[in-house]
Amino acid sequence: MKTTIALLTLSATTIMAAPENLLNIAILQLPEQYLAGIPMARRAELISNLSRNAADTRLDYANGWLGYANDNPYRSVGANSLFWIKLLPRKDREPLVFIHIPNRSENSAPPKSVTAILERRGDKWENVTESLLPDGVNATDCFVPRRNAAVIQIAPFVQAERSDGRGKYWADGQRTGELRWDGRKFEFSKTRPAKLTYD
């Protein structure tokens, strides 16, 4: 069941009262480059927006997963892209935080995606991506974490024709590989081309 959080009157301090909830801590504390540019001052509002409706499944505490896309300008919190967060559990240690921000461009420029694996050390976040991302994995690809499994899907970005005839846009291609987290490291495997699963 999703944690109930009061609306905009709830302070960040109150949200932080549950230190075991690393997902909230990450949302509140991550530097802006790891949370699609959302200002620190809007983070508690983001959690409130995602928690007000039980039918809204974008924020999933049970699975340590957040898949954020918001097309409603009235509830925008300043994100410059959709993004995903996935907690990667570790035995007897705090989970790592996997982040992917596709930053798909509206023009001909390739996406400048951000993919990072972060470890919380005190009040600091250390980027440990280089030590954990297997050789041969292209960090500029699209990465989509599964909601209920420690699996990250990988796909290239591809250009597609707009349905209105106004040229091309960047889209997610078909899944070509996946990363499976075993509690210590990722195992990379290639997969048959297939549509990405966004849940």
Is residue 74 in some structural domain?
Answer: yes
The whole-number pLDDT of residue 157 equals 93
Q: Give residue 142's pLDDT band: very low, low, confident or very high (50, 70, 90).
A: very high
The whole-number pLDDT of residue 193 equals 93
The whole-number pLDDT of residue 107 equals 61
Cβ–Cβ < 8 Å for 119, 125: yes
The CA–CA distances, whole Å, from 68 to 72, 96, 122, 194, 199 equal 12, 19, 26, 22, 11
Is residue 7 in some structural domain?
Answer: no
Output the CA torsion sign for 169, 75, 72, 88. positive
Is residue 5 in some structural domain?
Answer: no
Is residue 4 in some structural domain?
Answer: no
Closest to 114 measured CA to CA, from 90, 82, 89, 146? 82
Is residue 1 in some structural domain?
Answer: no
Q: What is the amino acid identity at position 41?
A: A
Q: Give residue 17's pLDDT band: very low, low, confident or very high (50, 70, 90).
A: very low
Q: Is a pLDDT exceeding 80 seen at residue 1? A: no
Range of the domain at 38: 12-194
Summarised one tens digit per residue, pLDDT across range 58-104 is 999 999 999 998 666 556 798 988 999 999 999 889 999 999 999 87
pTM: 0.85
The whole-number pLDDT of residue 118 equals 98
What is the mean pLDDT of the segment spanning 128-138? 95
Q: Is a pLDDT exceeding 50 seen at residue 10? A: no
Is residue 106 in some structural domain?
Answer: yes
Summarised one tens digit per residue, pLDDT across range 30-44 is 999 999 999 999 999
| Helix, coil or strand: residue 43 | helix
CA 146, CA 136: separation in Å to the nearest integer?
Answer: 21
Number of domains in the chain: 1
The whole-number pLDDT of residue 199 equals 86
CA 196, CA 173: separation in Å to the nearest integer?
Answer: 8
Is residue 3 in some structural domain?
Answer: no
Is residue 199 in some structural domain?
Answer: no
